[in-house]
Structure 1
Amino acid sequence: MGSLLSYSGLSTKIRAMQSKLIQERQYQEISQLESVTQVVAYLKKQPGFADFWADLDENSLHRGDIEKLLVHTIHQNFAKLYRFANPQQRTFMALYFKRYELSVMKDCLRKVFDKGHADLDLSLFKDFFNRHSKLDIEKLAGSSTVEEFINNLQGSEYYAPLKKLGGDYMPGIFDYGMALDQYYFANIWSVKEKLFKKRDLEEITKAYGNKFDMLNLQWIYRSQKYYHMTPADIYALLIPVHYRLTRKEISALVEAADETEFGRILDTTYYKKRFPALAPEKLEDFYNLNLKMILETEARKYPHSVIMIYSYLYHKEHEVDRLTTAIECVRYGLSPAEIMDYIEKT
C-alpha cells in the first residue's frame, strides 16, 4: 500500500506525459514534409512540444539550434517530473540525471579535441543544470585543453576518474569517454542497495543488470572485431558488473580466438536463450530490444515503482533520437519510405 500511495500521483502524471509522445502515425506525417522548417512547425502543434516551442520562430532556426532544442525537451520533461516527485523518487532521478552530465561533458571534450570546432554554446541548458547539477557547464564549455577541462571538474565526483588517466600513454577522447561511462555505471551498481529497497531495488537491478551485460557483450565483440585489442585491454574497458553473465563467461568471451569461437560461447549464455536469433553482429539491435522490452513489460506490471520513471525517460530520449534522424533525412531530401526506414532503425 505504501508504494501504491507513493507512486500513484506520479504514475498518473507519467501516463499523461506518455500520451504526448510522438506516435507512428505522426512519424509518417513528418516523413511527408518537404523541409526542416515544416517539421519544426509541425512539432510546434503537437501536445508534447506545444508548451515548450509555442514562441519559436521556425524560420530563424539553424539545424544545430533544433538539435539542442530537441535535447532540451528531455531536460524540460525531466524537470517537470522532478518537481512532481517525492524525495524517494527524486533519489532515482538524481542518479539518472548523471547521464545528462556525462553527455554535456562529452560534448565539451569533443570541442577540446576538435581544435577547429566552433564555440560550444550550452546556454540553453544553463538554468536546468544550475538547478540539478554542481557542474559549471559554462566553464567546462570554455575549456581549451584537456588539462583545463579536468581542472574545471575539481570538487566534483568526475575529477578523480579522469585525473588518473595518462601516465605511460596519451589518452584520447575515447579513453575519457569510456572512463566517464565506467564510473557512472559502476557507481549505479555500487549504490543501488543503499538507495533503494524492495520492488524499486528489484527493478533497478533487473533493468541496469541487463543493460550492463549487453553493453559488455557489445564492447567485447567490437574490441575484437574492429580494433583487434588484446584481452588485457578489453578487460580494462568492461563495466565491473556481472548480472546474467558469469565471470567465467566474460573471460571466455574476452579470450575467444576468433568471431566463430565468440559466437559459440555467446550461444551458451542467458541472452541467447532469451533471444534465439541473437548473433554477434546483431548485439546492438538486441541491446536496444532487450532494454525496451524490459522497461515496457516491467512498467506495465509495476506502475507504482521506480521503473515507471525509467521507462518514460527512456522513451522520451528515444523520441528525440528518432526526431533528430527524421530531421536529418528531410534535410537531405530522402523519400518518405526511406525516412521511415531510418526512423524505424533508430
Structure 2
Amino acid sequence: MGNLLSYSGISTKIRAMQSKLTREEQIREILELSSVPQVAAYLKKTPEYSKLWASLDETTSHRGLLEKSLKTSIFHNFSKIYQFANPEQRKFLDLYSRRYEIRVLKEIMTNLFDHRDTDPVDVSPYREFFRRHSRLDIDRLVACTNMEEFINALKGNEFYGPLSRIQNRENALLFDYGMALDLYYFSLIWHVRKKLFSGNDLAEITKAYGEKFDMLNLQFIFRSKRYFNMAPADIYALLIPMNYKLKKEEISSLVEAASYEETQSIFRKTYYGRKYSHISAQNIEEFYNYMLRTTLEKEARKDPYSVAVLYSYLYHKEHEVNRLTIAIECVRYGIPAEEAIRYIRNN
C-alpha cells in the first residue's frame, strides 16, 4: 500500500506524459516530408511539442535548431517530473541527472580537443536544468579554453577526481576522459543503490542497471575483439567493474579468448546467450537497445507504482529524441523512408 500511495500521483502524471511521445507511425509520416521546416511544422502540431515550440518559426528552422529544441524537451520534462516527485523519488532523479551533466561535460571536452570554443548558445538547452538541478557552473566551464582550465574549474565537484586522474596520464585522449566519467557514473549507481532504495524499488533498479552494465561490457568486448585486436589488459581497464548475470569467470574467458570466433562460442554459453539464442556478436548492439527498452517496459507494466515507471519514461523520452534527430537527418539528406525506418528502429 505504501508504494501505491507514494507513486499513484506521479504514475498518473507520467502516463499522461508518455501518451504524448511520438509514435512510430508519426515518425513514418515525418520521413515522407521533403524538408526540415516541414518537420518543424509537423512536430509543432503534436501534443508533445505544441506548447514548448509555440514560439518556434518553422519557416526558418534548420537541423541544428531543431536538435537543440529536442534536447531542451528532455530537460524540460525531467524538471516537470522532479517538481511532482516526493523526496524518495527525487533520490533516483538526482542520481539519474548525473547522466545529463556528463553529456554536457563531454560536449565541452569534445570542443576543447578540437580546439573550438563552445558557443554559449550551444548549451542554452541545458542552462535552466543546471540552474535547478546541478552544482556545476556551466558558464564557467563553457569559458574554458583548454583541458587544464576545464578540470581546474571542476574542483570541489564529484567529477574532478576521475578527470584529474586521467589528466595525469601521458597523451590522454578524449576517449579516456569520456570513459572515466562513464565508469564513475556506473560505479556510483551500483554502489549507492542499496543505500537509496529498498524492497521492490531496489530489485528493479538492480535488474535494469545490472542488465545494462552486462550488455555494455559485452558490446565493448565484442568490439575490441572484432575491430581493434586489443590486449586483454587494455580491455579489462575499460570494462564497467560490476557484473550481474555475467559471471566474473565468464567475463575473464571472453576477454582472454584468442579470437573473435572463440568469444562468440563462449558468449553462447552465458546467461544472455542461452536466454536470447538469437543474439550474435553481429547484432548485439541492436539487441542491447531492444533488451533495455523491453526490460523497462515490462518492469513498468508489472509494477506501475515503483521507480521503474520513472526510469522507463526518462529512457523513452531520450529514445524519442534520438529517433527524431535521426529522422530529421534522413529528411535533410533525402534518405528513402523504408531505409530510414530500419536504421531508426535499431537505435
* TM, length-normalised to structure 2: 0.97
Q: Report what 2:12 is aligned to.
A: 12
Give the count of matched residue pairs: 346
Which SS does the other structure have where 2:145 is aligned? Answer: coil
Q: Report what 1:286 is aligned to.
A: 287
Q: Report what 1:122 is aligned to.
A: 123
Q: Report what 1:97 is aligned to.
A: 97
Q: Report what 2:330 is aligned to.
A: 329
Residues of 2 paired with 1:12 and 1:200: CA distance?
A: 18
1:336 offset after TM fit, Å? 2.5
Residues of 1 paired with 2:62 and 2:29: CA distance?
A: 22
Q: Report what 1:29 is aligned to.
A: 29
Q: Report what 1:48 is aligned to.
A: 48
Preserved contact between residue 161 and residue 180 of structure 1 (Cα < 8 Å): yes
1:337 offset after TM fit, Å? 2.3
1:117 offset after TM fit, Å? 6.2
Q: Report what 2:278 is aligned to.
A: 277
Q: Report what 1:248 is aligned to.
A: 249
Q: Report what 1:212 is aligned to.
A: 213
* Residues 282-340 of structure 1, C-alpha deviations (whole Å, 9 max, x = no match): 21111111111110111000100000000001111110000000000000112222332
Which structure 2 segments of 5+ residues have no match? none
Q: Report what 2:203 is aligned to.
A: 202
Residues of 2 paired with 1:117 and 1:267: CA distance?
A: 47
Q: Report what 2:261 is aligned to.
A: 260
User: What letter corresponds to residue 39 of structure 2 in structure 1?
Assistant: V
* Residues 259-288 of structure 1, C-alpha deviations (whole Å, 9 max, x = no match): 111011101100012211111122111111
1:59 offset after TM fit, Å? 2.3
Q: Report what 1:163 is aligned to.
A: 164
Residues of 2 paired with 1:67 and 1:171: CA distance?
A: 30
Which SS does the other structure have where 2:283 is aligned? Answer: helix
* Residues 44-79 of structure 1, C-alpha deviations (whole Å, 9 max, x = no match): 110011111011112233322211110110111111
1:123 offset after TM fit, Å? 2.5
Preserved contact between residue 289 and residue 346 of structure 2 (Cα < 8 Å): no
Preserved contact between residue 118 and residue 143 of structure 2 (Cα < 8 Å): no
User: What letter corresponds to residue 54 of structure 1 in structure 2?
Assistant: A
Q: Report what 1:177 is aligned to.
A: 178
Which SS does the other structure have where 2:157 is aligned? Answer: coil
1:69-80 alignment to 2 at 5 Å?
69-80=69-80
- Inter-CA distance 295–246: structure 2 relative to 1 (3 Å threshold): same
1:20 offset after TM fit, Å? 0.3
Residues of 2 paired with 1:341 and 1:235: CA distance?
A: 34
User: What letter corresponds to residue 218 of structure 1 in structure 2?
Assistant: Q
1:116 offset after TM fit, Å? 4.5
Q: Determine what percentage of the aligned residue pairs are the same residue.
A: 55
* Residues 70-115 of structure 1, C-alpha deviations (whole Å, 9 max, x = no match): 0110111111111111010010001000000010000000000112
1:147 offset after TM fit, Å? 0.8
* Residues 235-259 of structure 1, C-alpha deviations (whole Å, 9 max, x = no match): 1101110110111011111101001
Q: Report what 2:88 is aligned to.
A: 88
* TM, length-normalised to structure 1: 0.97
User: What letter corresponds to residue 245 of structure 2 in structure 1?
Assistant: R
1:166 offset after TM fit, Å? 4.2
More off after superposition, 300-309 vs 217-226? 217-226
Preserved contact between residue 123 and residue 138 of structure 1 (Cα < 8 Å): no
Preserved contact between residue 31 and residue 337 of structure 2 (Cα < 8 Å): yes
More off after superposition, 148-157 vs 200-209? 148-157
User: What letter corresponds to residue 84 of structure 1 in structure 2?
Assistant: F
Residues of 2 paired with 1:25 and 1:282: CA distance?
A: 25
Residues of 1 paired with 2:169 and 2:72: CA distance?
A: 39
- Inter-CA distance 53–260: structure 2 relative to 1 (3 Å threshold): same
1:344 offset after TM fit, Å? 2.1
Which SS does the other structure have where 2:97 is aligned? Answer: helix
Q: Report what 1:134 is aligned to.
A: 135
- Inter-CA distance 10–168: structure 2 relative to 1 (3 Å threshold): closer
